[in-house]
Structure 1
Amino acid sequence: MNFIPIISVKNHVRALFAMTLFLVVNYGTSAQSKENPDVLKNKIAKAESDPKKVELLLALSDYYLTKTGEDKSDLDNADRINTQASLLSDRLKYKLGKGKSILLGAQIYREKGDSENALEKTKNAIVYSKKNNLTELQASGYAELSIYDAELEQKAKYKQMAILLYKKAGAKEQQATVLKDLGELYSSNEQPDKAEPFLKESLEIYKAIKFKSLQGLYNILSEVYTQKGNFSEALKCGLLAEKIALELHDNTLQLSSIYNHVALVYYYLRQNEKTEEYWNKALKIAKDYDDAEYIRTIADNLSSLYIRQKKENEALKLIKEMQDNYPTSNMERIMTENYLLFNIYRIQKNNAKATFYYKKMVAHYGENADRNGNTFAVLRSFASYHYQVKNFTAFYPIIKKLDSVSAAIGNNNIRSESHLIWFKADSSRGDYISAINHYQLYKSLSDSVFKGEKSKQINSLQIEFESEKKDKNINLLQEQAKVQQIQIQKDTVVKYVFIGSVIVLILFLGLLYNSFRLKKKKNEELEIQRQQINEQNELNKKMLIEKEWLLKEIHHRVKNNLQIVISLLNTQSAYLDNEDALMAIQNSQHRMHAMSLIHQKLYQSDNLANIDMSWYVYELINYMKECFDTDRNINFVLEVEKTYLDVAQAVPLGLIINEAINNAIKYAFPENRKGEVIIVLKNIGESNYELQIADNGVGLPEDFENTERDSLGMNLMMGLSDQIDGTFEMKNDNGLKITITFTRNTEFEVTAENS
């Protein structure tokens, strides 16, 4: 089952959320520019005692309140200056200034940690604004009031009241900001269907007023679409958020949050390299700001990626590093790491430690994960745990609930993974008809997420985003060229003026002018040729993209057809009692799966010509281990160099490995004898490679030449070795050792190395 980060749909950046609150509730200063404090002080000193001076004092107080860092002296300055603004408003009978000062005072108390006085002052600001018909200030009061209530629906109610009042006052930017906050509130509580309409309405208003800083809103929309399993829209919004942030030179923690959500989309799309790239960028920014909680958030996400990549030890190391360097008392953070540790030990089949953390999670989230959020992640880990310990009584209610809640929001990615483990559970219990149904559902749902137009759309988004980056670089070079051209023109003009001042050189100037005309004509001809070349390049690019998509679709269909045949053979085996027939079907399934992996890798990667054999052998051995349940008595050791082979060599080599491992599992270690199987693929000079499959089992019997040389497996391995122009050698060497040497095809060598 695909592992997911528990914090992926729950936590935003803590500092970012606080920043959002200030945008909403600081009505008293929202219209003020963030001027240099020295400039503000100079204006205050020169200002007369009038409402303008009150506004300047409020702006200076807000500067100290929202200043980066947590210096107590900044809050004391904000409080002192706000008191001056309040007293001056009283003398002037400036009601708006007085109301703003009351609300700003509430925010200062909140920043000091005095929630009781902050809440009282917020209520006073609302009463004052109602009494004096200050509609916009009243809206800001309700937005501030929503911070203090713990109940979700009450928070939402206060925000909706603020939205209506901002709309009444015509404050469109504030209205859009609170709509965004309301959408974020529902999103953080795993209610994406409620969040989406508010966020879309916010976006519509922001665009209408030509508001440019939309990166935060697109970031939240990316999270909402991720929760709903709509990864094409999630990636689109995430990349838009990144694009806008970079254009506006936004290098704050908000950019870290954007990178985090883009990484999460790539995570669900199983693009591990992109996932790691974006999470590392997010982690760097978080470390630059020394934000301990968010550093741990990103680190926990990276741990989740390591777990999915079977790098449990790296995940454990990273968790330990975070606990040592960034200690926390935050219960949600502690439970997140308990969740990670639970899954690490579950995957390592350390059931004792897994059970220890399982009990901790049940105490926090409940047996059905119905407390404290994170429903999907916790339910899936519980289902995997119950399947692993063969507690099917607990497994089936959990997996049914997971399918139900994911279906309710249309998240086919989660549903597909749920039906895969459901299929495994039914298969292990002998319920093959039900197992086949769940496997078909898994394939159908998985394909709906990762194939066809959606997959094409996702890849198009990435291409478009990368193209825009390149276009910006080209535009920059063109601007530099224009500056150089202008400078050249200026120099030429100076030269012409100088030459023009000398009468004797008139003839020379005429010849120079004629030369210029010829050059201009030549440049026009060159420009026409350049445009024609560009058009041809664009046509070639489109043809190349179409060819790549066609090849991917072919590999995808081949893989799907092989999977269908495997499923049909699996179904047929349920009706057979003959052990030899069952064994033959099982061998055929393994061979077809070995070929299927090749085509699966080809359509999922950008390299359509070559296969990474280190990845392939790892996946094939994992499949064999799952099929034969060999973890208890056979240890597999892989020493496979990162080697790229084309399909013509990868498929025969995969079938040879499949046959050799199959024979080792069945015959090398009789009566559950423990042993070791070593698979080595290495370069032995230039383009020559050697494959070894060796075990320390019972080896070949003495009469093997006479009895087994003509078996299907042996003939298949020897025939496939001939097919790749290799040599096949088999001998007893403290067990059986099979050696194949061959020469790698180098036709696509450059492509493989660049992939």
Structure 2
Amino acid sequence: MNYNTAKTNRNSLYILFMFTILLMGNIQSYAQLTEDPNQLKITIAGAKSNSDKAELLLRLSSFYLNKVGEFKTDLDEAATLSKQARQLSESLKYKPGIAKAMLLEAKIYREKNDTLNAVKKANEAISYSKSNNMLELLAESYAERSLHEAPIEEKAKYKELAIQFFKKAGAKEKQANTLKELGELYSINESVEKAETHLKESLALYKAIKYQKLQGVYNLLSEVNTQKGNYPESLKYALLAEKTALAVNDNSLQLSSIYNHVGLVYYYLRQNDDAEKYWYKAIEIAKYYKDTEYVRTIGENLCSLLIRQRKEKDALKLIKEMQVKFPTSNIERQMKENYLLFNIYRILQNNATATIYYKKLADYYGENADRNGNSIAILRSFASYHYQIKKFDDFYRTIKHLDALAAGAGNNLIRAESYLIWFKADSSRGNYLDAIKHYQLYKSLSDSVFKGEKSKQINSLQIEFESEKKDKNIDLLKQQAKLQEITINNDVIIRYLFIASVIILVLFILLLYNRFRLKKKSNEQLEIKRQKIDEQNELNKKMLIEKEWLLKEIHHRVKNNLQIVISLLNTQSAYLDNEDALTAIQNSQHRMHAMSLIHQKLYQSDNLANIDMSWYIYELISYMRECFDTDNQIKFVLDTEKVYLDVGQAVPLGLIINEAINNAIKYAFPSGKKGNVSIELKNTGASNYQLIIADDGVGLPENFDDTERNSLGMNLMMGLTDQIDGEYDMKNENGLRIKITFTKNTEFEGAAENAEII
């Protein structure tokens, strides 16, 4: 399977994953209600007109509100009973009954899709509960208010208030429920860190009150870790959700959701058979409950599996079949279909049709996928599309944005795949240094996802879960055997027990012999594997030596090429008599020398990743002294620590120092005035560093302002500071003082010790 296909498969799956989260909120409506409406009606008819009767009316109203199916007659009956309960409570001045009736009315209006009245009643319940200090009802009212259409931030605000008052009221289970809902909300919004924090807090609270039905929160934790790309954790929680659901006999639509997400994790882990097995179990449950949207969700997951298996035409056929048998007017569902069709036609190299679906997706999500969620999934497909049609400006814009979002979510799988296509784009354009860097990042991140300890964790989880299943089956068989034995006569029991004992003894002997053979065979296989590993290690050592040699050769050639350019510029300057042109050539020579010093140090050093900045600054200043002959006029004071930076930060810092020293020599000490220039590079805590270049010269003019920063040197310093994500500050302080603060890139950090001050 080529890269574009694999990436598209994950793209289509990721958007399906986000849609399944939206369906979780509806699962509870399928739970079996324990109330008996006929018995409640009999009890109400014989009850006195007091608070007990009001509570019974509210219970019956809630039954019709939560009854499976959305029928107008049920909602009308719920509204009538709620109104009766409120009138009775008001006549009795029974405040809890009044507040509960208000809240119930808000829920009924919500089910009727009457948002205006629903919000009005929810606000009324909040106000009444607050004024009468009914904390738990106030919390429930805030929770209800959060369900109405509003930005996610507003929903989260109301849920936070609900959690706060549930906590004050001591309603731990409701507090845990709302924490779970808030975590789900943040998960939908792709705020994975917030989502995981609230879900774990919910889980801890559930466990503290010994709540058994934890499958829902485990399922959400699995989803969040899938978003983060932490597949061992995702699989752990998915299997815990399945185990818990089966233990509590949960056969609701939630079990379909759990099976669906176990399948999603296996899909990401590229275990296609397991993914297919769980998805078929999930779709059977969804069909049993006749849930069209959920049948479509799982069907589209299977469609993604077909795309991965290079069965694009079968996937297209499945989508069209669902459009006929399970039509929908839901805009999100329609955009999901457009997304899948976009990827299918792109893989089929039908760019004309793919472009039609690209425009639909771009109109809905934005070219940067900054609208309506699913930004990472959409950006991944957009990047592949731009690369395929060779729109490289759009590709680089999209891939950089995607990498930033994936890094924020901690999803190394997405980043690895992004770097692979980035490498291909760089290679096709001849940017070989960038291509090498992006390929190395791809290998590093890919290995972190699919190899080593994570693979062991995943295998361990699968073995543990399968073992528990087998243990349960063994226990069940034992119980059945005991029941069967009770029905047999004592004589028959004794006779067959003797026969069974003999058989068991023979089987035990055979089992021991078989285990001996298996162990012997296993040891032989382990020895073969050990030999292969030793051979692979030797090969890896050779490859590492070759890689180091290649990198040194690259740095050597880059340094030589820069020296050649410097020489060419020097030769060119001999034919020029324009002072500005000569100055520009001289400045360019200085900048190139600043860069060549770095590559010279790299190919001469054993450390190919990092530069000793104390050595580099000393060499650069020595070069500047020789070029400008400033020994009798300007004194340079170096105060630098032994800091090791990678090339990506060392080059920009070297160019900044070059520009700043160049400006100081030219402008700080006019008319032969003597002075000092100091260069300081120090650690300010953790991985934070600051570079200060200061002189005691004439400084900036009094009327100097930002509009005068349009020189090449000044723009270079500010642009290079942005390149290393640093902060640039320049001000008069007994001369001119330039301060650059930045955070050290530790990705390729080598061993470094504090250096003595020069």
**TM-score (structure 2 length as normaliser):** 0.66
Q: 1:7 aligns with which of 11, 15, 25?
A: 15
Which amino acid in the other structure matches residue 415 of structure 1?
R
Query: Alignment identity in percent?
Result: 57
Q: CA deviation at 1:104?
A: 0.7
Partner of 1:127: 127
Q: CA deviation at 1:67?
A: 0.6
> Given that residues 57 and 81 in structure 2 are in contact (C-alpha distance below 8 angstroms), is that contact kept between their aligned partners in structure 1?
yes
Q: What RMSD, in angstroms, separates the aligned Cα atoms of the two structures?
A: 3.6
Q: CA deviation at 1:572?
A: 7.7
Partner of 2:329: 329
Which amino acid in the other structure matches residue 475 of structure 1?
D
Q: What do residues 399-425 of structure 1 show as CA deviations (whole Å, max 9, x unaligned)?
A: 122122111221110011111111211
Q: CA deviation at 1:199?
A: 0.3
Q: CA deviation at 1:389?
A: 1.2
1:557–1:450 distance in 2 versus 1, CA, 3 Å: farther
Which amino acid in the other structure matches residue 319 of structure 2?
I
Q: CA deviation at 1:62?
A: 0.9
1:254–1:398 distance in 2 versus 1, CA, 3 Å: same
Partner of 1:63: 63
Which amino acid in the other structure matches residue 17 of structure 1?
G
1:45–1:544 distance in 2 versus 1, CA, 3 Å: farther
Q: CA deviation at 1:561?
A: 8.7
Q: Find the aligned partners of 2:524 and 2:203 in 1 and give their Cα distance.
A: 38
Partner of 1:222: 222
1:70–1:12 distance in 2 versus 1, CA, 3 Å: same
Q: Find the aligned partners of 2:71 and 2:507 in 1 and give their Cα distance.
A: 60
> Given that residues 17 and 264 in structure 2 are in contact (C-alpha distance below 8 angstroms), is that contact kept between their aligned partners in structure 1?
no
Q: CA deviation at 1:544?
A: 8.2
Q: Find the aligned partners of 1:450 and 1:116 in 2 and give their Cα distance.
A: 51
SS in 2 for 1:427: helix
Partner of 1:451: 451
Superposed structure 1 runs of 4+ greater than 6 Å apart = 518-576
Q: CA deviation at 1:178?
A: 0.2
User: Superposition pairs for residues 652-667 of structure 1, below 5 Å?
Assistant: none
Q: What do residues 234-257 of structure 1 show as CA deviations (whole Å, max 9, x unaligned)?
A: 111111111222222222221121
1:19–1:273 distance in 2 versus 1, CA, 3 Å: closer
User: Superposition pairs for residues 46-195 of structure 1, below 5 Å?
Assistant: 46-195=46-195
Q: Find the aligned partners of 1:548 and 1:261 in 2 and give their Cα distance.
A: 35
1:547–1:195 distance in 2 versus 1, CA, 3 Å: farther
SS in 2 for 1:210: coil
1:536–1:204 distance in 2 versus 1, CA, 3 Å: farther
Q: CA deviation at 1:523?
A: 9.2
Which amino acid in the other structure matches residue 473 of structure 1?
N
Q: Find the aligned partners of 1:549 and 1:102 in 2 and give their Cα distance.
A: 70
Q: What do residues 195-250 of structure 1 show as CA deviations (whole Å, max 9, x unaligned)?
A: 00100010011111111111111111110000000001111111111122222222
> Given that residues 16 and 297 in structure 2 are in contact (C-alpha distance below 8 angstroms), is that contact kept between their aligned partners in structure 1?
no
> Given that residues 27 and 254 in structure 2 are in contact (C-alpha distance below 8 angstroms), is that contact kept between their aligned partners in structure 1?
no
SS in 1 for 2:410: coil
Q: Find the aligned partners of 1:544 and 1:93 in 2 and give their Cα distance.
A: 82
> Given that residues 8 and 264 in structure 1 are in contact (C-alpha distance below 8 angstroms), is that contact kept between their aligned partners in structure 2?
no
1:398–1:543 distance in 2 versus 1, CA, 3 Å: farther
Q: Find the aligned partners of 2:179 and 2:71 in 1 and give their Cα distance.
A: 31
1:36–1:432 distance in 2 versus 1, CA, 3 Å: same
Q: Find the aligned partners of 1:125 and 1:184 in 2 and give their Cα distance.
A: 25
Partner of 2:464: 464
Determine whether 1:320 maps to 2:328. no
Partner of 2:248: 248
1:555–1:210 distance in 2 versus 1, CA, 3 Å: farther
SS in 1 for 2:25: helix
Partner of 1:338: 338
Q: Find the aligned partners of 2:65 and 2:542 in 1 and give their Cα distance.
A: 67
Q: CA deviation at 1:263?
A: 1.4
User: Superposition pairs for residues 536-685 of structure 1, below 5 Å?
Assistant: none
Q: Find the aligned partners of 1:225 and 1:546 in 2 and give their Cα distance.
A: 37
> Given that residues 29 and 66 in structure 2 are in contact (C-alpha distance below 8 angstroms), is that contact kept between their aligned partners in structure 1?
no
1:459–1:539 distance in 2 versus 1, CA, 3 Å: farther
Q: Find the aligned partners of 1:535 and 1:431 in 2 and give their Cα distance.
A: 63
Which amino acid in the other structure matches residue 324 of structure 1?
V
Q: Find the aligned partners of 2:243 and 2:223 in 1 and give their Cα distance.
A: 16
> Given that residues 16 and 336 in structure 2 are in contact (C-alpha distance below 8 angstroms), is that contact kept between their aligned partners in structure 1?
no
Partner of 1:37: 37
Q: Find the aligned partners of 2:82 and 2:235 in 1 and give their Cα distance.
A: 44
> Given that residues 338 and 361 in structure 1 are in contact (C-alpha distance below 8 angstroms), is that contact kept between their aligned partners in structure 2?
yes
Which amino acid in the other structure matches residue 401 of structure 1?
H
1:22–1:310 distance in 2 versus 1, CA, 3 Å: closer
Which amino acid in the other structure matches residue 344 of structure 1?
I
Report which stretch shifted further, 227-236 or 345-354: 345-354
Q: What do residues 30-70 of structure 1 show as CA deviations (whole Å, max 9, x unaligned)?
A: xx972222222232233333322222221111111111111
Partner of 2:288: 288
Structure 2, unmatched stretches of 5+, are 555-758
SS in 2 for 1:10: helix
Partner of 2:484: 484
> Given that residues 16 and 300 in structure 2 are in contact (C-alpha distance below 8 angstroms), is that contact kept between their aligned partners in structure 1?
no
Q: What do residues 362-395 of structure 1 show as CA deviations (whole Å, max 9, x unaligned)?
A: 2111221112111111111111111111111211
Which amino acid in the other structure matches residue 41 of structure 1?
K
Partner of 1:298: 298
1:22–1:430 distance in 2 versus 1, CA, 3 Å: same
Q: Find the aligned partners of 1:51 and 1:551 in 2 and give their Cα distance.
A: 79
Q: CA deviation at 1:93?
A: 2.5
1:401–1:59 distance in 2 versus 1, CA, 3 Å: same
Q: CA deviation at 1:289?
A: 2.1
Q: CA deviation at 1:85?
A: 1.8
> Given that residues 51 and 89 in structure 2 are in contact (C-alpha distance below 8 angstroms), is that contact kept between their aligned partners in structure 1?
yes
SS in 1 for 2:259: helix
> Given that residues 283 and 299 in structure 1 are in contact (C-alpha distance below 8 angstroms), is that contact kept between their aligned partners in structure 2?
yes
Which amino acid in the other structure matches residue 38 of structure 2?
D
Structure 1, unmatched stretches of 5+, are 24-31, 496-511, 577-755
Q: 2:25 aligns with which of 6, 17, 22?
A: 17
SS in 1 for 2:15: coil
Q: Find the aligned partners of 1:335 and 1:108 in 2 and give their Cα distance.
A: 30
1:13–1:294 distance in 2 versus 1, CA, 3 Å: farther
> Given that residues 172 and 205 in structure 2 are in contact (C-alpha distance below 8 angstroms), is that contact kept between their aligned partners in structure 1?
yes
1:143–1:559 distance in 2 versus 1, CA, 3 Å: farther
Q: What do residues 316-367 of structure 1 show as CA deviations (whole Å, max 9, x unaligned)?
A: 1111112222222222212111111111111111111112221222211122
Q: Find the aligned partners of 1:149 and 1:126 in 2 and give their Cα distance.
A: 17
SS in 1 for 2:41: helix
Which amino acid in the other structure matches residue 407 of structure 2?
A
SS in 2 for 1:481: helix
> Given that residues 219 and 258 in structure 2 are in contact (C-alpha distance below 8 angstroms), is that contact kept between their aligned partners in structure 1?
yes
Q: Find the aligned partners of 1:99 and 1:540 in 2 and give their Cα distance.
A: 73
User: Superposition pairs for residues 366-381 of structure 1, below 5 Å?
Assistant: 366-381=366-381
Determine whether 1:349 maps to 2:313. no
Which amino acid in the other structure matches residue 462 of structure 2?
Q
1:58–1:519 distance in 2 versus 1, CA, 3 Å: same
Which amino acid in the other structure matches residue 45 of structure 1?
A
Q: How many residues align?
A: 545
> Given that residues 109 and 115 in structure 1 are in contact (C-alpha distance below 8 angstroms), is that contact kept between their aligned partners in structure 2?
yes
1:339–1:523 distance in 2 versus 1, CA, 3 Å: closer
Report which stretch shifted further, 526-535 or 408-417: 526-535
1:291–1:359 distance in 2 versus 1, CA, 3 Å: same
Partner of 2:669: none
1:549–1:353 distance in 2 versus 1, CA, 3 Å: farther
Partner of 2:425: 425
> Given that residues 426 and 432 in structure 1 are in contact (C-alpha distance below 8 angstroms), is that contact kept between their aligned partners in structure 2?
yes
SS in 2 for 1:370: coil
> Given that residues 432 and 574 in structure 1 are in contact (C-alpha distance below 8 angstroms), is that contact kept between their aligned partners in structure 2?
no
Q: CA deviation at 1:540?
A: 8.6
